[in-house]
Structure 1
Amino acid sequence: MTTEPEPGTPASTVRNDVSGQTAFALQAGMITGNVRIDARSAAPAIPHQLPAGSGVFIGRSGLLAWLDRTLVPQGLAVITGMAGVGKTALAVRWAQASTAFFPDGQLYVDLRGFGAGESMRPHEALAGFLRALGQSRPEAIPTLEERSAHYRTLLNGKRVLIVLDNAPSIDHVRPLLPGSSTCSVVVISRLQMGGLVVHHDASARRVEPMRNPEGVDLLRRTIGSLADESTISRLAELCDGLPLAIRIAAERVADTPSYANDLVTELADARLDFLDSGDDGHSAVRSVFSWSYQGLTDDEARMFRLLSLHPAGTFAGRAAAAAAGCSLDAAARLVRSLVRRCLVSEPERGRYQIHDLMSEYGRELCENSESIEAVTRLFDHYLHTADRAGRIIMPHRLRVPLDGSPVAVTEIPDRHAALRWFRAERRNLESMCALDEPGLDARIWQLAYALRDFYFLHKLLDGWQETHLHALAASVRSGDRLAEARTRNNLGMALVEAGDLDEAMNHYRQAEHLFEQLDDGHGRSNALSNQAAVLRRQGEYAAALRNQEQALAWYRNSGAKRNVGITLRSMALAEMELGRFAQAVQHIEESLDIAMGLGLDVDAAEAFGRLGRIQHRAGNNLLAEIAFRQAVEYSRRCDSRHEEAHGLHQMGRLAAGAGRLGEARQLLSEARDLYQELGSQAADGIADELAGLAQD
């Protein structure tokens, strides 16, 4: 392999003692001497995840005092109550006023226990908490038990407040409890959590609707002189003391002051009791929702109904335009109107959300055909944008034809924008894959296929496996054998990364069988190559090479250059284990030529890392050091922090072996810090290596 140095970059010509070839090695300076790699890690920021408060807050002094007694200096409080009664507002108000007691931060998660979509699973919530505590790749920790243990370790001795909102069950809460007695926890749920009280020494309180004087005070402070005292008092009474209903009533009065008295009459005479009256609070809330809904224009009402179908998370204006099938300008105007009327919230600039009760109300107003058409348009928006973003971050990958014609596809000008979009929309994309709608089966597996690009780069194993399991079910249900085969191939890759080799091999073999039936040579070659990755990890190097040679022959004949490069990299590792160093180096160099020719930084980073391993095993430490340095450079270009940590670790080992102990400590420390952020157990081994250096 020969590569030309970039303009202005010194180049060293190095003789390859194994292959006998001469190669240019790109260097920023001489390898001999102290190698300096800029540190990429820093102390993690203190998390402050509390959501914004609800504005005017009235009463609840007894509950606030109870939280003081329960949570300071530490404790576990369980807040229960009906929907819309103000549980979250209470917890957030107390937490915001008590930040001084928790100098190490506040963690918050909405477990989504009572909305339209699936609840957030504990291992997903733990991934978010671990990221907030400084780990950028918590998905590398495979099991719920390991994540929970690592979470407890990170919180040990720290004074942190954890708020678990909309908890659907005790089983969702237990893995999220810290082991440290210095932390405090607030659990918020519509359900009683008796098991927590019994087994975890928790204190529980039910939040009741506001007393009428408090409701009157809240209305008075929000609408002031826009209504007389008798009207305000009657409105508070008819809202049943629910803060959510009171806020909507206040907004309606503020929007149309002259309508205040008519509003009271309308509510008193025509309560919309879609649900039985009782202690669930739905009667009053639905009635108040109906006031706002009946005051909407036809276009506003339609937009509200369609937005209520959004499955999860916050959404951008383009998603609203897609759901409604209208222009961006029209969607923006309608959504702003719904925000003003408190039917939609804007938790962050340009992103919107609907309260789960409001969403439930809106869905009941939708006709079936209207719902199906809107969800399909919304799916097409996410599917086609994900495909566009995936093509940018993972070019030269085989792509599949997509169903649908999107109304509004987000503009994605470059790689940074693609990654930013995936991060912002990840929860929505995963929720779309989880929709149980046979008419969307083709779109579901296609969306999972597009998501693999993002998952592979960042090794986000939870979402990768979850979306592909949904995709597999959809492809099997629809009888699409090609979709099933492709999905099994991609699912197997996630399982390999998670260490479940037997299950991965099962999917790969089923994929190979399906591709053979379909006479799909490219797919069969992918399955064979993937099986080789499992065989190599199991120590079956000769068997792995046989599979790879079959796949390589097909890739070369079909002109699939990127697949050729990937297969050559894999073959080189098997050859290294068999002691065939010259062949291994030759294959890696050809792989690098392909990666650089196609502009694939992530492929180049992996190839340089493997070249370093091979050269080190062959006894060529100088060449190994050069290769690892290049691996670090290319990994930073493509934001692959795992490859970066691996390169730094190997460079540190080589420096230590050469007696450059100061340089070794620096490199190993940087690698350890990166691995810690990624949640990798490799950090512990590097810590031991550093301890050994300190004794020298």
Structure 2
Amino acid sequence: MLRRHRHAARLTLEQLAEASGVSARSLSDMERGRSRGPQHRTVAALADALALDEIARKQLIELARDGRLRDHWTRPTGLCELPRSVDDFTGRAAELAWTNDLIHADKSPGVAGVGLITGPAGLGKTTFAVRAAHTLRPDFPDGVLFLDLFGMSPQPLAVGEALALLLRALGAADQQIPSDTSGRASLYRSMLRDRRVLVVLDNAASEEQVRPLLPGGGGGRALITSRRLLAGLEGVRRLSLGPLPLLEATELLTGILGERSASDGEPALAQLAQLCGGLPLALRIIGNRLVSRPDWNAAELAARLSNEERRLDQLSAGDLKIANAFGMSYEQLAASARQVFRRLALVPGRDFDAALAAVAGGTSIEDAWDALDELVDLGLLQDSTSGRYRFHDLVRLFARDRLQEEDTSAERDALSGRMTSWLLRMATTAGRWFEPAYGRPDRSDSDLADLSSMDEADRWLRVNADNWLGALRYAASRGLHSVVLDCAESMHWFSDRWMHAPHWHEVFTLGAEAAAALGDLAQHATQLNYLAWVHTVPPEDPETALRYTADALDVATRSDATAQIAWAHLYAGVALRLLGRLDEAVASTSRAAEMFKTTGDIDAYCQCLGALGNCLRDSGRYTEALEQFHRMCDLAGDEEPAMTPSIAALTRPYALARAGECLGLLGRRAEAITKLTEAIGLMEQLQLSGLQARYLEVLATILADEGRTGESRRVYARAAEVFETVGDTEASGRCRGLATAAH
């Protein structure tokens, strides 16, 4: 009929193509019967170009519609069919909502309606995409297609072959499929243009593989999954899948187990879910193992998984093996990136930066960046906006297994030694920034990262605490006593800034043991005094503090270390005050004060004044206590201070706060509020979070007593926030409750 109308209009194929905007090739396919069901828009354009009357126009359009129906019911089946969705699919509600929004979003310029789902091995990207496609199926009357691109295999699916499979699934006959890739891509886009089809492209290898398979606009949509980030792919919306939260992971495991989950018990299943790290593949493996072995006990399997040495071996069921999933990603890496990956398994802490990665990999910082980018791209590492990287727990175990297999024992020992040395030299250098005669330390080690300010040193010590503490343990286990002692000693002044950190007991214990092994009595007494100090910081343990001061006094006396004898008396005074033995506390503290005054140590003498003031305050002698704190303020605030400037800077906010507290107790609340406000501001500048939280609560109480309820509520809320940052959840909850009550 089309040929008859064209002849009647005295038009050639080329002339009709130009008039209608339909290609001459498409017209030829219609006239020869190769295309029996062209799209409505195409036929309407031809009817307009041929100037058909209403009857002829309607007849032509109906013939095309009948052809489309025949094509729909006679096209090959079983090609690119969507896999079944698992019945026990759990969670991912927000992510499923994301795919729904993507599909129903308004059309946008360029590639529209394309979603890219990325994430490491084992996160269930394919399962999620299949679930989403089944959910969305009613929105795609022209079909949902699924194609595995084999992105992790040595030979991913070629673009031309992928296009041929999709074209056949769309109903194209073999003789219609062009031989060249560009021709196939063009035909593919034209067949999708007027069809409402969802294409799921699973396991993509690269941007080049995916681009020709995307719809060119119109009603077609696509979901892509890939372990790679495919950062170069333009015009797509991105969704990064993460591990399942513990609750959803436990629900998934419960769903896999079905009826037997009740006998296993929720605690055991929750422990299994936690050991699987929220990876759906690991959870399915564990669930399948339990289901296939009814006599197994979930708690016993959890005990097996708790052994890190055997955890990966336990995470296998038939052809499902978590190590195989990670191994496919590992095989994609360049040799240099593989080396960095497996050697990072020896990093002591949970995360690390590029500088430490360079040390671990034995490479330059530039090459380390390249390796880290490759590892993140393949999902073998997780990165953050702070420039730090971390393993998933199971991926770390896989990296450790690769290290055992591919590096010799001697190479591993050398790497551990090199990393330990670097971390402890960095930590010691950073700690030296805070010593009384502070300033930029002389950095003779050219391989260390540069710490150009006290703030940088502070940040490095905090964010790398797990790493340098792990290195300190390793050095102690290897008998590197001098290195351990140097590092522990360098932490003394920094510990005042971060007094609520949980690891100071271990740091100074290792320091004391190292000093004892070296036979250095003065340093042994010093480290014992530091341990006494640790036990006077909340939550206090004054009885233990007294035992340490007694040991320190004994060692210091034997070595005639006058300064450490005085410090032992001072710390003993603090512990006695905490025990309520105030007369003894005053006597011990006064003795320390006399010794420090005699030796001219004004810094330590000033600390004694504060300790005496605390004793007087606890005795209810607020005016006398206030005098001691004012003397502290004077010593720390002189224009030409007798104190070391850095110690004066730390002392002043403490003295102001204590003075403010005493003023409040004396009923002089306006003066108290002024002192406390100044002190808290200085504490925030110096990052003395523990003290800041404590005196925020004191200030809030005084504001409430003064009738300034709104201000009190805000300060209580701020105190709750700061208590939370130092890990004191009890105090945080108390202040949060008081903030609400004040309202």
TM > 0.5 fold call: yes
* SS state at 1:410 partner: coil
CA distance in 1, matches of 2:503, 2:628: 33
CA distance in 1, matches of 2:402, 2:497: 39
* SS state at 2:436 partner: coil
Distance 1:327 1:479, change over 3 A: farther
Aligned residue number for residue 522 of structure 1 = 563
Contact 1:316 1:352 in 2 (8 A): yes
Contact 1:307 1:323 in 2 (8 A): yes
Per-residue deviation, residues 32-58 of structure 1 (Å, max 9, x unmatched): xxxxxxxxxxxxxxxxxxxxxxxxxxx
Aligned residue number for residue 450 of structure 1 = 490
Distance 1:536 1:326, change over 3 A: same
Aligned residue number for residue 314 of structure 1 = 351
Contact 1:385 1:410 in 2 (8 A): yes
Contact 1:67 1:94 in 2 (8 A): no
Contact 1:377 1:407 in 2 (8 A): no
Aligned residue number for residue 633 of structure 1 = 681
Cα deviation for residue 510 of structure 1 reads 0.9
The answer to whether 1:681 aligns with 2:730 is yes
Contact 2:121 2:325 in 1 (8 A): no
Aligned residue number for residue 666 of structure 2 = 618
Aligned residue number for residue 531 of structure 2 = 491
Correspondence list, 1:468-479, <5 A: 468-479=508-519
* SS state at 2:448 partner: coil
Correspondence list, 1:157-556, <5 A: 161=247, 194=297, 196=299, 208=316, 211=319, 242-251=324-333, 292=335, 309-320=346-357, 322=359, 328=365, 332=368, 345=381, 347-348=383-384, 351=388, 355-362=396-403, 374-392=415-433, 394-396=434-436, 406-435=445-474, 437-497=477-537, 498-556=539-597
Per-residue deviation, residues 368-402 of structure 1 (Å, max 9, x unmatched): 6665554444333222322333343x341899x99
Gaps of 5+ in 2: 1-82, 95-118, 133-244, 251-265, 272-276, 291-295, 304-311
Aligned residue number for residue 605 of structure 2 = 564
* SS state at 1:439 partner: coil
- Counterpart amino acid of residue 551 in structure 2: Q
Distance 1:451 1:557, change over 3 A: same
- Counterpart amino acid of residue 480 in structure 2: L
- Counterpart amino acid of residue 415 in structure 1: M
Per-residue deviation, residues 542-581 of structure 1 (Å, max 9, x unmatched): 2222222222233334443332222221111112234544
Contact 2:354 2:369 in 1 (8 A): no
Distance 1:563 1:242, change over 3 A: same
- Counterpart amino acid of residue 492 in structure 1: A
Per-residue deviation, residues 419-448 of structure 1 (Å, max 9, x unmatched): 321232111112112215333233234333
CA distance in 2, matches of 1:421, 1:686: 31
Cα deviation for residue 537 of structure 1 reads 0.7
CA distance in 2, matches of 1:585, 1:624: 11
The answer to whether 1:592 aligns with 2:614 is no
CA distance in 1, matches of 2:553, 2:610: 21
CA distance in 1, matches of 2:361, 2:737: 58
Distance 1:207 1:682, change over 3 A: closer
Gaps of 5+ in 1: 1-60, 73-86, 101-158, 165-172, 179-183, 215-238, 256-291
Distance 1:475 1:342, change over 3 A: farther
- TM-score computed with the length of structure 1 as normaliser: 0.56
- Counterpart amino acid of residue 618 in structure 2: E
CA distance in 1, matches of 2:125, 2:300: 23
- Counterpart amino acid of residue 244 in structure 1: F
Cα deviation for residue 610 of structure 1 reads 0.8
Contact 1:605 1:635 in 2 (8 A): yes
Contact 1:438 1:478 in 2 (8 A): no
* SS state at 1:68 partner: coil
CA distance in 2, matches of 1:309, 1:684: 38
Q: Which has the larger radius of gyration?
A: 2
The answer to whether 1:68 aligns with 2:90 is yes
**Larger RCO: 1 or 2 (CA < 8 Å, sep 6+):** 1
- Counterpart amino acid of residue 682 in structure 1: A
CA distance in 2, matches of 1:377, 1:365: 19
CA distance in 2, matches of 1:316, 1:432: 16
Cα deviation for residue 520 of structure 1 reads 1.3
Per-residue deviation, residues 475-517 of structure 1 (Å, max 9, x unmatched): 4455544443333222232233232222222122112211111
CA distance in 2, matches of 1:473, 1:674: 34
CA distance in 1, matches of 2:504, 2:591: 28
Aligned residue number for residue 696 of structure 2 = 648
- Counterpart amino acid of residue 458 in structure 2: L
Cα deviation for residue 362 of structure 1 reads 3.1
Contact 1:488 1:510 in 2 (8 A): yes
CA distance in 2, matches of 1:96, 1:605: 55
CA distance in 2, matches of 1:326, 1:493: 41
Aligned residue number for residue 671 of structure 1 = 719
Per-residue deviation, residues 510-550 of structure 1 (Å, max 9, x unmatched): 12211111221222222221111111111122222222222
Q: 1:606 aligns with which of 654, 660, 675?
A: 654
Distance 1:608 1:197, change over 3 A: same
Distance 1:664 1:424, change over 3 A: closer
- Counterpart amino acid of residue 548 in structure 1: T
- Counterpart amino acid of residue 316 in structure 1: D
Distance 1:397 1:530, change over 3 A: farther
- Counterpart amino acid of residue 681 in structure 1: E
* SS state at 2:502 partner: helix
Aligned residue number for residue 115 of structure 2 = none
CA distance in 2, matches of 1:472, 1:63: 61
Aligned residue number for residue 217 of structure 1 = none
Cα deviation for residue 406 of structure 1 reads 4.1
Per-residue deviation, residues 54-103 of structure 1 (Å, max 9, x unmatched): xxxxxxx899653528999xxxxxxxxxxxxxx984357599989x9xxx
The count of residues paired between Structure 1 and Structure 2 equals: 471
Contact 1:601 1:635 in 2 (8 A): no
Per-residue deviation, residues 253-309 of structure 1 (Å, max 9, x unmatched): xx6xxxxxxxxxxxxxxxxxxxxxxxxxxxxxxxxxxxx5xxx6xxx9997886564
Cα deviation for residue 608 of structure 1 reads 1.2
The answer to whether 1:90 aligns with 2:122 is yes
